[in-house]
Amino acid sequence: MKKAKIYKPSKTAMQSGIKKFDKWMIEFVTDDPGKNPLMGWESSSDTYSELNLEFKSKELAVEYAKKNNIDFEVIEPKERKIIKKSYADNFTK
């Protein structure tokens, strides 16, 4: 079977909140992307590269991969370090 990576998507640069980032994704890894001879775009004949599966938890994603004999790699998310600041700190130093 194909190799896949299981990860938690990160927020975009346009978002500052942490809401709606509790899902885990399975994304299949494409071995041989090629170049389209007509347009020069990167393409592949592998349709698994277009498939992204979404799960509510990491355990469900891992269970799905094991059940369907998918080789997988789990990429743990980096925790965000929150530094609490006060507006008054701009003037007290």
Main-chain phi, psi angles of 55, to 5 degrees: -130, 155
- Report the domain count for the chain: 1
Main-chain phi, psi angles of 31, to 5 degrees: -80, -45
In a domain, 87, yes or no: yes
Residue-level length of the chain? 93
Look at the pTM and tell me if it is higher than 0.85: no
Contact (Cβ atoms closer than 8 angstroms) between residue 26 and residue 65 = yes
Question: Which amino acid belongs to residue 41?
Answer: W
In a domain, 15, yes or no: no
Main-chain phi, psi angles of 48, to 5 degrees: -65, -25
In a domain, 80, yes or no: yes
In a domain, 78, yes or no: yes
pLDDT in tens, 20-77: 678 999 999 877 777 778 888 877 777 787 889 999 999 999 999 999 999 999 999 8
For 70, the domain range is 3-10+21-92
In a domain, 60, yes or no: yes
Rg (CA), the chain: 19
